[in-house]
Structure 1
Amino acid sequence: MRKAVVTGLLVLLVALAGFRKKEKVQPGIPQRWPAPAYDLGDAPLSEKKIQLGRLLFYDPILSRDSTISCASCHSPYNAFTHVDHSLSHGIDGRIGTRNSPVLVNLAWSTTLMWDGSITHLDEQAATPISNPLEMDESMPHIVQKLQANDAYRRLFRDAFGRRGITDKNVLRALSQFMLTLVSANARYDSVKRGEAEFTESEARGYALFTRHCSACHTEPLFTSNGFENNGLAVDDSLHDIGRMKITHLGSDSLKFKVPTLRNIAQSPPYMHDGRFKTLGQVLNNYIMGIQQSPTLNPRLQKGIYLTAVQKADLVAFLYTLSDHAFLSDPRHGIPGK
């Protein structure tokens, strides 16, 4: 059944490739947002590359046994993450070591992954593809499998010319699709554009957010793109030291990338290991669960005091970051649906 579905999608994409479309696509850069970190001048978006990347994103052919696709851990209905388990699941029922991050507004990301181990979007997909706990595949074998497929050979030729199917072009096509995952039309954005107003509870929550959270979850991206130790208790079963694994600096111990809060209500579980299932649990940890350590963010050393009403107000504001148009956009979903 899975093979039949993928074959059907390939037929659809080949048909779409036959239409004469404007090759270059204008990136969706929202007003008053900073310039993207990704060099769109060096790699301009094109419709054929985007649609090819979209097909690859949903195709389990990228995994060793053709059971896991990128979308297996990055569902479009959940802001391109998973919600049914704390840690990512891979082939053969293998369990990863971290919760999959959301894939949104990646053109503005200066680093990728929870520990910042990837510094360019065109390289990102190679990590889960090669990870033995996730897709457990190699780029040379993926190229071999794609070259054996008549439809993919045509799609790559249409998108990349005579270069066709190469490991670089596979990764570039995936990044082209991920670059289109721009979320900037939540209720919060409508308020900022003067098209709507916060409720009284949302307004109070926004004031609390500005006071306690915005230094790390910086507007309008709702992330600083930095790394912080936010006082989580160490999970002895995972022994995850965060950014220090990459830099080998003691000052980076237990620091993880600050995630965006956009679509936060649709993307549980939370934290790098998915330990919290609700926003209430997250706030409770900041109120009374902060663990002291040398690299703890200084703003969190005394915790954050919130009353029950203030917690409700803050959650009400966080819900204004839900971009329902983005979450239901058919251009991001499974091709053909």
Structure 2
Amino acid sequence: MKKIWVLTLILGLIWACKKANDIIEEEDIFAGFVQPSNFPKPAYDLSRNPVTKDGFELGKKLFYEPRLSRNNTIACGSCHIQGAGFTHHGHDVSHGIDDRLGTRNPMPIMNLAWHSEFFWDGGVFDLDFSPANAIHSEVEMDETVTNILLKLRARPEYPALFKKAFGTEEITDVLFFRALSQFMLMATSSDSKYDKVMRKEDGASFTESEARGYLFFKNNCANCHKEPLFTDLSYRNNGIRPNRSDDKGRAIVTGNVNDEYKFKVPSLRNLSFTAPYTHDGRYLTVSRMLDHYRHDMVDSPTLDSLFRQADSSLGITMTQEEKADLMAFLKTLEDPTFLSNKLLAEPFGSDFIVN
């Protein structure tokens, strides 16, 4: 009996030590913002808002905080779901408060540190201000920043969290937005098979089909979808037929008719998880999206010249075999570690309906 008791005690101590080590390891995971070796310098000025553990944790709590909406039911994380590459899985356009529908497909929160303009039309010029779009949108959160700050100040936990993150219990709009930015800055997707091949990690290499697809991509797609972000961050008309709302894209921001029907070039990373595609989510699969470039383009005065062929045809010439190879290459841009990164995950027990 005594031996059993001693054994139980030893096992208990081992479990306790393991649990303590797990906690230490979890705490050691946070290393702040790290620039991947195969990525360019970020566009975001980290010197004015350096990512800290406490700032990030506050931003994470705010990202999954439903009090950011008018009726306390919609959080940023409601429409930007991690497993879907921080897009709104299953919805062609934004689906927000009171089941209201927007007109555009939510863009992924991914590698935003390298962007200096945001959304399909580039209407926001600073990551810190980007959440205001959803907050003030009557079809998304339908709230005001002023009222959000009042709600946060009324919660006993938030003054202490702001104190840890920024050295003051005062909850201001500037600090509120900076905390959210710190969370979004950490949403870096850079660990796909493609990245491993480029960095020559773990002996990674493309299959023959992937290699052929990569060559086709570089010859036909890379002008717009520039590596390694797989977007050149420009605005282009790619021959999408105007929808019922006649969304004129970039021209709404610039007022320039030459920008009509131009939309920001989206990244091709994690495509399998970010469906549907285009600014209005009209295409449900990658295959159908590629077929658009093969034989479904619509001409207009602002159509990008890259899609005008010498024989006056529109689009990208692509055989079935080339399409299959290209799709194989695009699969190499999937990043499972980004989609399951516990650092970015919704905190256990978060409430999406609160008082």
TM-score normalized by the length of structure 1: 0.91
Work out the CA distance in 2 between the residues paired with 1:173 and 1:193: 31
Classify the secondary structure of the residue corresponding to 1:115: coil
Q: Which runs of 5+ in 2 are unaligned?
A: 1-26, 309-313, 350-355
One-letter code aligned to 2:320: A
Offset of 1:32 from its aligned partner? 3.2
Pair 1:300-2:307 in alignment: yes
One-letter code aligned to 2:186: T
Offset of 1:37 from its aligned partner? 0.4
Q: 2:323 aligns with which of 276, 300, 311?
A: 311
Work out the CA distance in 2 between the residues paired with 1:85 and 1:38: 29
Pair 1:44-2:56 in alignment: no
Counterpart contact for 2:135–2:143, Cα < 8 Å: yes
Offset of 1:156 from its aligned partner? 1.3
Offset of 1:53 from its aligned partner? 0.5
Counterpart contact for 1:25–1:45, Cα < 8 Å: no
Q: Which moved more, 1:142-151 or 1:28-37?
A: 28-37
Alpha-carbon displacement from aligned partner over 1:46-94 (angstroms, at most 9, x marks no partner): 1111001101111111000011110111000011001211001111110
Work out the CA distance in 1 between the residues paired with 2:132 and 2:153: 18
Q: Which residue of 2 aligns with 1:179?
A: 185
Alpha-carbon displacement from aligned partner over 1:198-245 (angstroms, at most 9, x marks no partner): 11111111111111110000001101011000000010x222000000
Q: Which residue of 2 aligns with 1:157?
A: 163
Pair 1:244-2:251 in alignment: yes
Q: Which residue of 2 aligns with 1:127?
A: 133
Q: Which moved more, 1:297-306 or 1:112-121?
A: 297-306
Classify the secondary structure of the residue corresponding to 1:201: helix
Q: Which runs of 5+ in 1 are unaligned?
A: 1-20
One-letter code aligned to 1:290: M
Equivalenced residue count is: 315
Work out the CA distance in 1 between the residues paired with 2:126 and 2:99: 29
Alignment of 1:125-274 (within 5 A): 125-162=131-168, 164-194=170-200, 195-235=203-243, 237-274=244-281
Q: Which residue of 1 aligns with 2:333?
A: 321
Alpha-carbon displacement from aligned partner over 1:167-202 (angstroms, at most 9, x marks no partner): 121111101100000111100011112231111111
Question: Which structure's CA Rg is the greater one?
Answer: 2
Tell me the percent identity. 45
Offset of 1:42 from its aligned partner? 1.6
Offset of 1:253 from its aligned partner? 0.6
Q: Which residue of 2 aligns with 1:29?
A: 35
Counterpart contact for 2:159–2:169, Cα < 8 Å: no
Offset of 1:43 from its aligned partner? 1.3
Q: 1:287 aligns with which of 294, 300, 313?
A: 294
Q: Which residue of 2 aligns with 1:331?
A: 343
Work out the CA distance in 2 between the residues paired with 1:278 and 1:259: 15
Work out the CA distance in 2 between the residues paired with 1:294 and 1:93: 36
Classify the secondary structure of the residue corresponding to 1:162: coil
Classify the secondary structure of the residue corresponding to 2:334: coil
Work out the CA distance in 1 between the residues paired with 2:38 and 2:215: 21
- Root mean square deviation of aligned Cα: 1.4
